[in-house]
Amino acid sequence: MKLRYLVFILIVLSFISLFIGVIDLSISDLFHLTESQKEILWISRFPRLISIIIAGISMSICGLIMQQLSRNKFVSPTTAGTMDAARFGILFALMVFPSAGTMEKMLVAFTFALAGTFIFMKLLDKIKFKDPIFIPLVGLMFGNIISSITTFFAYKNDLIQNMSSWLQGNFALIMQGRYEMLYISIPLVLFAYLYANRFTIAGMGEDFATNLGMNHKLVINLGLVIVAIMTSVVILTVGMIPFLGLIIPNIVTIFRGDHVKATLPYTAVLGAVFVLLCDIIGRLIIFPYEIAIGVTVGVIGSGIFLYLLMRRSAYA
Whole-Å CA distances, 295 to 22, 90, 165, 240? 20, 21, 13, 10
For the chain, which residues make up each domain, given as ranges? 47-315
Cβ burial 189-206 (10 Å sphere, 16+ → b, else e): beebbebbebbbbbbeee
The whole-angstrom separation of Cα 84 and Cα 64 is 19
Topology (CATH) of 47-315:
ABC transporter involved in vitamin B12 uptake, BtuC (1.10.3470)
Q: How far apart are CA 107 and CA 96, in angstroms?
A: 13
Report pLDDT for 276.
Answer: 92
206 by DSSP, 3-state: which?
helix
- Flag residues of the chain having pLDDT under 50: 316
Q: Is the dihedral of CA 237, 243, 244, 245 positive or negative?
A: positive
Amino acid in the structure at residue 91:
L
pTM: 0.85
CB 86 within 8 A of CB 235: yes
Residue 247 DSSP SS3:
helix
- Identify whether the C-beta of residue 92 lies closer than 8 Å to the C-beta of residue 104: no
Is-contact 79 143, C-beta < 8 A?
Answer: yes
- Structure confidence at residue 165 (pLDDT): 62
In the three-class reduction of DSSP (H, G, I as helix; E, B as strand; rest coil), residue 241 is classed as coil
| Distance from C-alpha of 255 to C-alpha of 263, rounded to nearest angstrom | 9
